[in-house]
Amino acid sequence: MNKGFAKLLGVLALATAVVGCSTNPVTGKSQLNLMSTSQEISLGQKQYGPSQQSQGGAYEVDPELSRYVNSVGQKLAKLSDRPNLPYEFVVLNNDVPNAWALPGGKIAFNRGLLIHLEDEAQLAAVLGHEIVHAAASHSAQQMSQRQLMGIGAQFAAAAASQSRYRGLIHQGIGLGSQAFQASYGRGQELEADAYGMEYMVTAGYDPQGAVELQETFVKLSKGRQSNWLNNLFASHPPSEERVAANRERARQMPPGTRNKAAFDRAMRQLRKDAAAYKLHQDALAAANQKQLDKALSLTEQAIRKQPKEALFWDTKGKLLLNQKRSKSALNAFSRAIDINPNYFGPYVGRGIVNKNLGNEAQAKIDFETSLSMLPTQYATFHLGELELKQGNSRKAYEYYQFAAASGGELGQKAQQRMQQIYPQSNQAPRR
């Protein structure tokens, strides 16, 4: 047996041993989890900010709504099987009807899901579901499974190299991984449904809210027309089976409060702005069809209805930039930043405009500010351009490396720049 093959055997054996020592904090069942509690918390804290930024940033028009959602979430979290996790709850400025949880109790709730709910019991159903995902270490399990499958794939590939059946083994690795992940995901969702209902009922909420929530998701899935809904239901697959399971559980649970009045008060501003967000969605649809004048008109209508929404100004800036109306775009991006200085998007847009106008010092500040919130291909590519122009080849190369790794047309341009800087090597010389 060669040394590499023996090493793989050892690593796989160690990983398998760890699996047997792990217990699901919610169900008490044996589970796969290669991460400690401190690692879960650290990972969640590191990813929470960038994850929010990549999905619209925090909803800022009515900060009271986030405080309300957080208060309901914290009440449920105290009753969870891991009440000592550093739970946080935020409302994101995102149209998609979705919610998600990171390891360590970092939970987000999209504006687009809130608008479909009717009372606090339904809100508690969503939050309870996501709290279970955190408390049961579901995200950590997914990551651990991917790690183990990677080790297993290496092991199987090593064995296959000595086998005349290696083609069939390689096929089996892929098929087995996909099937296991799909089944594992369904199990996690069912687990979150069941224990999430227990959390909300313990907190005094009506379990019927969880039944209605799943019914809402089924209705949305049947009428979906957008690609982002397809992505949503790939990760949170609704089904009549889940509705029936929640309904059966609810029949065995005591009735509780709905807290509709409190929910209605918290939702007043968001519901008032529903027409403005619909106009903005229509504007984005028009822009995707290259109908830029129509998109701009719809965006301006949205702004008139809710001028304090930075997202609308950011979209206006992008449309004006696309029409090469640089000064007007600059004003729109600056207005977005004035309203919400904590979202990366307008800084990228304003950086591009400033770069085009020759305001290179300010462009660099804008791009670097955006990177402090979320690293993006656009910002790194344009920073590479600015550094290259100033003769800072090494720093430019580093920015281009990041941009190239993201692929696409801009990634190809970044690769070309890298070859221009160091034509004899794919990497910059060592320091």
Which tokens hold the place of 295?
């998109």
Supply the pLDDT for residue 144.
60
Flag whether 92 is in a domain: yes
User: Would you state the pLDDT for residue 37?
Assistant: 87
Give the model's pLDDT for residue 238. 61
Domain assignment present for residue 172? The answer is yes
Q: For residues 87 and 107, what is the distance between their CA atoms, to the nearest angstrom?
A: 7
Q: CA 335 to CA 309: how far, in whole Å?
A: 10
The pLDDT value recorded for residue 236 is 60
Within-domain flag for 203:
yes
Residue 329 Cα to chain centre, angstroms = 28
In this predicted structure, what is the pLDDT of residue 224? Answer: 55
pLDDT tens sequence across 231-283 = 454 456 667 888 999 999 999 999 999 999 999 999 999 999 999 999 999 99
Residues recorded for the chain? 431
pLDDT in tens, 95-116: 999 999 999 999 999 999 999 9
Q: Does the residue 132 lie in any domain? A: yes
Dist CA 91 CA 105 (whole Å): 15
Report the number of distinct structural domains present in the chain: 1
The CA distance from 402 to 92, in Å, is: 27
CB contact at 8 A, 164 and 99: no
- Please give the model's pTM, rounded to 2 decimal places: 0.82
Question: The domain containing residue 255 runs over which residues?
Answer: 3-260
Alpha helix locations (H) across 21-107?
A: 37-53, 63-77
CB 84 within 8 A of CB 38: no
**Mean pLDDT lowest among 55-59, 151-155, 164-168, 333-337:** 164-168
- Domain for residue 388, yes or no? no
Paired with 92 in beta bridges are: 58, 110
In sequence order, the 6+-apart residues with CB closer than 8 A to the CB of 348 are: 366, 367, 370, 376, 378, 379
Rounded CA-CA distance 311/358 in Å is 26
Any residues with CB less than 8 A from the CB of 255 and at least 6 apart, and which?
206, 207, 208
According to DSSP, residue 237 is labeled: -
In contact, 140 and 103? CB cutoff 8 Å: yes
385 is a domain residue: no
379 within some domain: no
- Torsion-angle region of residue 32: left (phi > 0), alpha (psi -120 to 50) or beta? beta
- 389 lies in some domain: no
Q: Sign of the C-alpha dihedral, residues 300, 315, 99, 219?
A: positive
